[in-house]
Structure 1
Amino acid sequence: MDVSVCRLWTLLATLLTVMVTCSRAVHHQNDPDAMGLAPDIYNEGPLKADLFTVYSAALRGHRHHRLSLAKVKSSELKLPQDPPRPLLIAAPTTAGKYPVVLFQHGYTMRNTYYSQLLNHIASHGFIVVAPQMYLWAGSDATGEIAAAASVLDWFPAGLKGALSHRVPAVEPDLTRTAVMGHSRGGKEVFGLVTGVCNTSLKISAVVGLDPVDGTGVGHQTIPPILKNSPHSLNLKIPTLITGAGLGPVGRFLFPACAPKGVSHDNFFSDSAAPAVHFVASEYGHMDYMDDDCPGAQGWMSFCLCKNGPSREPMRRFSAGIVVAFLQASLMQDSSQLSTALFNPSSAPLKLETPEIYGSLAEITNGVRASV
């Protein structure tokens, strides 16, 4: 008898829970105020994103080409004009015209290792294009900066065609273009906006995810970007720098992945207004990447650098703060960036006190420079 009563109460409680949940869901769908709320930047956005690859004919059949596509299952797109490098593209599937972000991967890494980061950003209404620069490289990054410039130059003729094969109702808004890079890729995008190699496309914002300019003070790699002079990089466009607190910490016998003197602190110090700086003190240089990174380079990403407790919080934070920054710099909406700056506890991990040089108004009204 007692068992029957317990079962009855359990059934009633379950039905009540379902009714309350459904009621809340309907209320939320019909509540204008709830519908008007901005999405949570630290979680994936309201748009479904598609992730696909675009081949480069010049590299077809080459090991560089095959490995760059190993993680992403998709059909080959045959375009009138192939890009200068194989591309991984993350784009919303909802019809519309969206700002475009060029993303440069880290040293010896694959573009596919950042698929979760790129997908997160795209789900908030951005088209993210990540070229595969190389598999192995020397210390001179000049060729990679030139290659990145050539990918940007390809956008007007090629990007719309590439998108039309997979997301035909989606168009790139090339009047709102940003460049972003991780580690050595951060150095490369700063090379673009400082004019190491020129591009015909206007760049409106730059993002460095734990950028690195060499192996230490006095040992910058070619071409040197940092001037070690406060606010000397007068880019005239909004700048976001994020840093990993464990980047300067070596692991075992390996040197630090983001050495002091040539990493995020120095990039922010050299940046002119408007610039913002966020540092996750308990996370590592490679924590921006996917949980699953196959191959030798993926093994290196887990073993050579000092890592945080897990990648997921750092990746969510990084994608979210990039979204907030791009909303401010490309879409003139600083509400999310303001919250992130002045309420850092809203992030999914512990942050040092964020820094801003200049003002939010300068970010939202930033000068769009042609570089």
Structure 2
Amino acid sequence: MAALEARPAPAAATDVFKRGKYTAKPITTCNAPKTLFIVTPDTEGTYPVLLFLHGYNICPCCYTNLLEHISSHGDIVVAPRLLSLCSLYGRPDINSAAEVANWLSSGLQSVLPENVVPDLSRLALAGHSRGGYLAFALALGNANVSMNLKFLTLIGIDPVAGANKCMKMCPKILTGVPHSFILDIPVMVIGTGLGGESVIGCIPCSCAPDGLNYAEFFNECKDNCLGFVIPDYGHMDMLDDDYCTNCIGTSIGAIMGSMCKSGKGDKTSMMECVGGLVVAMLMAHLEGETGDLDAIVDEPGIAPVKLEVMEDSEP
């Protein structure tokens, strides 16, 4: 066997995987169509806005570390609390997300710190798990509410469109046809390697089942999509360490946590990886600064955990 050559150190460099220069301030407000968890820079300035949709039965505050990481780089993150009772029927939450987006232009400024100004001409959309599905559904025009703002980019963090192939989210946006999504904005899909695995090997139950997870979302996007996989981590590993006790009811949170296979590595590094990818995407498409995103694509080894770049299977 030939000796393996030593791998050179990555030439690329980026600071998106580290906390940014701004102090991020969490705010909760009920003065909106839905209760909002907002994380904003507390320094005077004008900032882009990210609308973030949480996963099923996960409170937005369970993403505090992730959202603070994003906000510390100069973004206002608005996370509505979506409480649809039926996990497979997405229309009410899609409509609620659209209503919150419409509210931003008239209501967001009033709940932000003094001299912090939202720039809604630079608006992005993201979501995790079921929230990732909702984000795609909203961007694809599935809301029954007219939108008065335009999203400039879309990010799905381990998006999931159902419990299994017999229990898909409605509306059913996945078609199984490559490149079928009609999206005219740049897209990023972030997947986890353990999300599709069952905690109990003999029971075919996972938090992000094959055919309904990040791989299918990426497959149905067009060539304006970047895809990344974090192979050694699971579906919930980017959440705060104590998310199980902060979810809607500790019993539900505990059940959800026990169903999702988790990686054995450091969870903070996983969160920083996801946060850094989101920041790089926002910088590229809201700020016009592509250097960090290009560096990650060219050398994914600069991420704090193992990171793989997905390749389109279709020409």
- TM-score for the superposition, normalised by structure 2: 0.89
75, 82, 96: which one pairs with 1:126? Answer: 75
Confirm or deny: 8 A CA contact 2:54 2:129 kept in the other structure.
Answer: yes
Q: Distance in 2 between matches of 1:300 and 1:114?
A: 18
Aligned position for 1:25: none
1:305 aligns with 2:280: no
Q: Output the amino acid matched with 1:349.
A: V
Confirm or deny: 8 A CA contact 1:286 1:301 kept in the other structure.
Answer: no
SS of alignment partner, residue 100 of structure 2: helix
Q: Distance in 1 between matches of 2:169 and 2:127?
A: 16
Unaligned residue ranges in structure 2 (runs of 5+):
1-12
1:340 aligns with 2:296: yes
Taking only the aligned residue pairs, the percentage that are identical comes to 38
Confirm or deny: 8 A CA contact 1:236 1:272 kept in the other structure.
Answer: no
- Mapping of 1:22-33 within 5 angstroms? none
TM-superposed CA distance for 1:220, in Å, is 1.9
1:240 aligns with 2:188: yes
Structure of higher CA gyration radius: 1
Q: Distance in 2 between matches of 1:111 and 1:237?
A: 25
- Mapping of 1:177-196 within 5 angstroms? 177-196=123-142
Q: Distance in 2 between matches of 1:215 and 1:132?
A: 21
SS of alignment partner, residue 163 of structure 2: coil
Confirm or deny: 8 A CA contact 2:51 2:124 kept in the other structure.
Answer: yes
Aligned position for 1:153: 102
- TM-score for the superposition, normalised by structure 1: 0.76
SS of alignment partner, residue 162 of structure 2: coil
**Larger deviation: 248-257 or 103-112?**
248-257
Residue deviations 1:23-49, cap 9 Å, x none? Answer: xxxxxxxxxxxxxxx961111101111
Aligned position for 2:26: 51
Higher relative CO (CA 8 A, sep ≥ 6), structure 1 or 2?
Answer: 2
1:227 aligns with 2:175: yes
SS of alignment partner, residue 118 of structure 2: strand
> What is the total number of aligned residue pairs between the two structures?
293
Q: Distance in 1 between matches of 2:66 and 2:88?
A: 26
SS of alignment partner, residue 309 of structure 2: coil
Residue deviations 1:334-370, cap 9 Å, x none? Answer: 100011111110011112234479xxxxxxxxxxxxx
50, 65, 68: which one pairs with 1:101? Answer: 50
Residue deviations 1:294-328, cap 9 Å, x none? Answer: 23343234311000114212111000000001101
Q: Output the amino acid matched with 1:353.
A: V
Aligned position for 1:278: 228
- Mapping of 1:35-114 within 5 angstroms? 40-55=15-30, 82-114=31-63
Confirm or deny: 8 A CA contact 2:88 2:167 kept in the other structure.
Answer: no
**Structure with a larger share of its residues in helix:** 1
Confirm or deny: 8 A CA contact 2:14 2:295 kept in the other structure.
Answer: no
Aligned position for 1:320: 276
Please report the RMSD computed on the Cα atoms of aligned residues, expressed in angstroms.
Answer: 1.9
TM-superposed CA distance for 1:219, in Å, is 3.8
Structure 1 stretches of 4+ with a deviation exceeding 6 A read none
Q: Distance in 1 between matches of 2:161 and 2:82?
A: 17
